[in-house]
Amino acid sequence: MSVDLILSMKLRKKVILYNPKAVFFDMPLALLAVGSVLDEQRYEVIILDGRLEENVEDKLIENLDQALCFGVTVITGAPIKDALHISKFVKKHSQDLPIIWGGWHTSLFPLQPMHDNDCIDITVQGQGEYTFKELVHYLDAGLPLEEVQGISYRGEAGLVQNAGRPLQPIDDLEKVNYDLIDVEQYFRKKGRRQFDYISSIGCYFRCSFCADPFVYDRKFYAIDAIKMVEHLAYYKERYHFDDVNFQDETFFTYKNRISDFAKGLIDRKLDITWAATMRADQGERLTDPVWQLCKISGLRRLLIGVESGSQEMLDWMQKDIKLSQVFYCADKCEALGIAVIFPFIVGFPDESRDSVEATVAVIKELNSRSEHFDTPIFYFKPYPGSAITRQVQANGYRLPETTDEWGDFDYIGSSGPWVDDEKERFFEAFKFYLKLGFGRRQGVLFSLLRKLGQWRVMKNQFKLPIEKFLADRLWIKKQLS
Ligand code: B12
Ligand code: SF4
């Protein structure tokens, strides 16, 4: 390294990025994505993760004086609380430092966070890489922000929302720089050497409970399969992981890409396992040889959203899958020994009793097919940006009206008026006995309880829940958000 380069590196401005407290320890892919596009010789990117740092405030004080801006990634719900707390802290310490919020929440609410909170100066809408690179350049050069597409900001005369930035391909972007985080710390927290990676942005589909169609306008871009294999080979060499968790919304969109990817993993002898999301219709379109390739290349687990056991409900929510496709995928996975998480949602507005019963029946059927199938059940929550949410709002349902209130809108807890007490009691018992009857806990006691749990689930017999009483006191920890 030349002396000039060393000197210029020392003079770099700091760009501090923050991932708010949340559940789980997925790597902060959004911050890695936007942090990696900045010129390393001009900017020192510092990623702080509220889930890992003992004392974020101390770290901020160490770095804020040399900072050019402070960015936060925000998803709707509990993480907003922490995002606000930390943003207020930063603003108090460094009044003139631009504070930028990006992510799903500000894609859905460009202005509200700034309207409600003086501490936020700029919000980013949609895809962040190209916008952030340009924004940082404009901030550094002291240029006015009106030409930066994909942002909203606090202008002199009030809040301004600029034109959006059309979604751009991601194949031309440089590889993400995971050295910006301490990868080992995430492995430790996860309890396994599992790497997080995202290979696409957006989604072509139109499910009416999801915000993706609104945020990405049903567009989709993915990294070329061979490039993806090269990336993973490089990262594996550097970080020595043995499993990759793909965070894509729909990883299996193009079957040729998947086939090339799986072949690539096998040819490079990468020797990893991997997990990804699949739509049931995509699974049905994969040929047998591609299913085989996926398995041989290390596919260990799929996440296939079923949402409902009623075809009528599936059609209503424009999921655009058939239940037969779900069972097709279940058969394939059972035969190939691939685990599957099949999430369901109950309590859609005005969901009929028949629909709920159909869901319960499909859940039982899937659980009885393989011990490697899981069927988590969520209560419908009207997340912003989805077509159903717009509909219930038009019918008078009141959504949170301030950023603070959105911070209380957690996925655990109240699901709105569509799940009455009886339904909730039934599902809480059903979920418990599913876990007991079809979970993978070992031991003599559990094998006895498993049989009892299975019987209860199959017969819908949840009276005198002695096992639940004991479990609540003895071994089940409450999950906190
Ligand atoms: C990993 C993940 C999580 C992790 C979060 C890890 C973390 N970093 O904190 C965990 C498991 C905790 C999680 C939880 C939840 N999640 Co989640 N999750 C995801 C997932 C699968 C991947 C996110 C990701 O890393 N993407 C990759 C990055 C590169 O993309 P990105 O986040 O979109 O970021 C881009 C832009 O948004 C923008 N950007 C983002 N942040 C910033 C910041 C700045 C400064 C800038 C400039 C730009 C920018 O630039 C990035 C690059 O283009 C997404 C789906 C998806 N594929 O995105 C859902 C998703 C974000 N989750 C969602 C939801 C609903 C939840 C939950 C509320 C419920 C649930 N059942 O999962 C809970 C909430 C938990 C809580 N209360 O704490 C929704 C968000 C909807 C919303 N309104 O916010 C999504 C979109 C899924 C969906 N389609 O509905 N989730
Ligand atoms: S639920 Fe999945 S498939 Fe449906 S629109 Fe959202 S991201 Fe796409």
| CB of 207 closer than 6 angstroms to any ligand 2 atom | yes
pLDDT in tens, 197-226: 999 999 999 999 999 999 999 999 999 999
Q: How high is the pLDDT of residue 11?
A: 81
Q: What is the CATH number of domain 9-161?
A: 3.40.50.280
Q: Is the pLDDT of residue 478 over 50?
A: no
> Which tens digit of pLDDT belongs to each residue from 417-444?
888 889 999 999 999 999 989 987 777 7
Which pLDDT score, from 0 to 100, does residue 3 have? 54
Lowest mean pLDDT among 165-169, 302-306, 416-420: 416-420
Q: Which atom of ligand 2 is nearest to the CA of 203?
A: 8
Q: What's this model's pTM, rounded to 2 decimal places?
A: 0.95
Question: What number is the average pLDDT over the span 284-305?
Answer: 98
Give the distance (Å) from ligand 1 centre to CA of residue 78: 12
* Atom nearest to 23 CA in ligand 1: 12
Residue 449 confidence (pLDDT):
84
Residue 7 has pLDDT above 90, yes or no: no
Residue 250 Cβ inside 6 Å of ligand 2? The answer reads: yes
Assess whether pLDDT exceeds 50 at residue 480. Answer: no
DSSP 357-426: HHHHHHHHHHHHH-TTEE--EEE----TTSHHHHHHHHTTPPPP-SHHHHHT--SSS---TTS-HHHHHH
> Residue 475: pLDDT band by 50, 70, 90 thresholds?
low
Residue 330 Cα to ligand 1 middle (Å):
27
SS3 156: coil
Which of 203, 209, 325 has most ligand 2 atoms within 8 Å of its beta carbon, as the pocket-test mutant? 203
Strand 151-155 and strand 122-124: the pairing is antiparallel
Instruction: Please report the atom of ligand 1 found closest to the CA of residue 410.
Output: 77
Residue nearest to atom 2 of ligand 2 (CA): 249
CATH superfamily of 211-218+225-474: tm_1862 like domain (3.80.30.20)
Query: Which atom of ligand 1 lies nearest, measured to the CA of 78?
Result: 77
Q: Are residues 305 and 279 in contact, defined by beta-carbon separation less than 8 angstroms?
A: yes
| Ligand 2 pocket, residue 134 CB under 6 Å | no
Residue 289 burial (CB count, 10 A): 10
Mean predicted confidence (pLDDT) in 68-87? 97
Q: Compute the distance from residue 234 Cα to the ligand 1 centre, in Å.
A: 25
The more confident residue out of 423 and 475 is 423
Give residue 392 CA to ligand 2 midpoint distance, Å.
19
For a pocket test of ligand 1, which of 17, 36, 100, 104 has the largest count of ligand atoms closer than 8 A to its C-beta?
104
Residue 252 CB–ligand 2 contact under 6 Å: no
Can you tell me whether residue 236 is helix, strand or coil?
helix
> What spacing in Å lies between the alpha carbon of 72 and ligand 1's midpoint?
12
- Going by C-alpha positions, the residue among 235, 140, 219, 141 that lies closest to residue 186 is 235
Is the pLDDT at 190 greater than 60? The verdict is yes
pLDDT above 70 for 51: yes
Q: Where are the domains of the chain?
A: 9-161, 211-218+225-474
pLDDT confidence of 396, banded at 50, 70, 90?
very high
Q: Which atom of ligand 2 is nearest to the CA of 209?
A: 1
281 in contact with ligand 2, CB cutoff 6 A: no
Phi (first) and psi of residue 271, to 5 degrees: 50, 55
In this structure, are residues 107 and 74 in contact, taking their beta carbons and an 8 Å threshold? no
Nearest ligand, CA 201: 1
Range with the lowest mean pLDDT among 215-229, 310-324, 391-405, 417-431? 417-431
Closest residue by Cα to atom 6, ligand 2, is: 210
The residue among 15 and 479 whose pLDDT is bigger is 15
136 Cβ contact partners less than 8 Å away, ≥ 6 residues apart: 15, 38, 43, 68, 69
Contact 275, 246 (CB under 8 A): yes
Summary mean pLDDT of the chain: 93
The pLDDT of 309-323, averaged and rounded, is 98
- Tell me: the pLDDT tens digits for 99-136? 999 999 999 999 999 999 999 999 999 999 999 999 99
Q: What is the atom index within ligand 1 of the atom nearest the CA of 76? A: 84
pLDDT of residue 304: 98
Calculate how far, in angstroms, residue 318's C-alpha sits from the geometric centre of ligand 2: 10
